[in-house]
């Protein structure tokens, strides 16, 4: 069994990006700049956004963090997005989700200029991804592709079972794994909360990608010998021994499942760290006008 080390892979990707930024700087080019809008004070969101800003600093990007109270109106937020769309200094920006209930998330995501949509959530980028055109890929599925590629995991003709159908992970993951590409070219089954007899599907899987948010959902009896298991789930469970008061649990019963696997991601330290690296990669692509030339 090989552990898929997301932390190490993420560091390698970020070092590659940093080297490119250093070259851009040396040749007098424009340094990539990422902006992030954070609404409210949700603990998870604050941590995620701070980590994104720190990553920018580490690899030499410019960054701007724009914070609002959760009482901000939808209109005010949309005005800010229009401003960022027009600001030539900003190559890409993200609106950290979730947004407060009084704000229409779809409307906000659609207001972002697709050329600056480095989260890859705008319907135009989603459509381009489905059509196989150059697009910003959502960071988590793109990170999983990187893991599969850098560990040279065979995917062609394999049966890949994706569990969870969210717009940010499960659904794009299923599309990308079915593309005629590497990594990809797999036969894909997409399971969700209304799938009848989930173990029936997972037991056939050469590759399982679980993106649900239910600790322990995937047990050893659901996994075929030699399978590749990618655990996207990150659920906070109380843990008095941790300074934060919680620990992160994946969807996979790691201790029991790992001995059966050829490859498996740990939680934490698996898929999570790659998400930031891929956001940085999208920002670099935006600065280089690689997607929308």
Crossing angle of helices 6-26 and 43-59, in 10° steps, is 50
**Choices 63-71, 75-83, 205-213, 219-227; region in contact with ligand NAD by CB under 6 A:** 205-213
Q: Does 236 participate in binding ligand NAD (rule CB under 6 A)? A: no
52 carries an active-site annotation: yes
User: Taking the CB of residue 239, how many other CB atoms lie within 10 A of it?
Assistant: 13
Task: Write out the binding residues for ligand NAD, residues 127-156 only, by CB under 6 A.
Answer: 140
Q: Closer to ligand NAD at the Cβ: 72 or 174?
A: 174
**Choices 61-69, 106-114, 124-132, 212-220; region in contact with ligand NAD by CB under 6 A:** 212-220
Closest CB 164 distance from ligand NAD, rounded Å: 4
Residues 5, 14, 52, 249: which is the catalytic one? 52
119 carries an active-site annotation: yes
Of 51, 85, 105, 235, the residue at the interface with ligand NAD (CB under 6 A) is 235
Distance CA 6, CA 250 (A): 14
231 carries an active-site annotation: no
Of 234, 265, 282, 283, the residue at the interface with ligand NAD (CB under 6 A) is 234
Closest CB 108 distance from ligand NAD, rounded Å: 17
Q: Site residues (CB under 6 A) for ligand NAD?
A: 140, 163-166, 168-170, 191-193, 195, 198, 211-214, 217, 232-235, 271-272, 275
Return the active site residues: 52, 96, 119
């Amino acid at each position: 069994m090989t552990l898929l080390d997301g932390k190490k892979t993420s560091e390698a990707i970020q070092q590659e990006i940093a080297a490119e930024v250093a070259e851009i700087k040396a040749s007098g080019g424009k340094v990539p700049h990422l902006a992030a809008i954070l609404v409210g004070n949700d603990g998870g969101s604050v941590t995620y956004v701070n980590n994104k800003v720190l990553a920018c600093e580490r690899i030499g990007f410019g960054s701007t963090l724009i914070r609002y109270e959760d009482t901000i109106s939808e209109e005010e937020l949309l005005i800010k997005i229009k401003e960022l769309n027009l600001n030539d200094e900003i190559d890409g920006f993200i609106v950290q989700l979730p947004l407060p209930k009084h704000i229409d998330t779809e409307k906000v995501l659609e207001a972002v200029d697709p050329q600056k949509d480095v989260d890859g959530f705008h319907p135009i980028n989603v459509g381009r991804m489905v059509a196989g055109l150059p697009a910003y890929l959502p960071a988590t599925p793109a990170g999983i592709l990187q893991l599969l590629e850098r560990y040279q995991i065979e995917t062609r003709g394999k049966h890949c079972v994706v569990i969870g159908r969210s717009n940010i992970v499960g659904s794009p993951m299923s599309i990308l794994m079915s593309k005629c590409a590497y990594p990809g070219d797999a036969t894909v089954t997409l399971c969700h909360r209304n799938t009848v007899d989930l173990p029936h599907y997972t037991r056939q899987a050469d590759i399982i990608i679980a993106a649900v948010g239910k600790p322990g959902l995937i047990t050893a009896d659901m996994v075929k010998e030699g399978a590749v298991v990618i655990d996207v789930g990150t659920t906070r469970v109380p843990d008095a021994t941790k300074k934060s008061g919680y620990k992160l649990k994946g969807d996979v019963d790691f201790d029991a499942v790992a001995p059966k696997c050829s490859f498996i991601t740990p939680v934490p330290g698996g898929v999570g760290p790659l998400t930031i690296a891929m956001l940085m990669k999208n920002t670099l692509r935006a600065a280089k006008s690689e997607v929308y030339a």
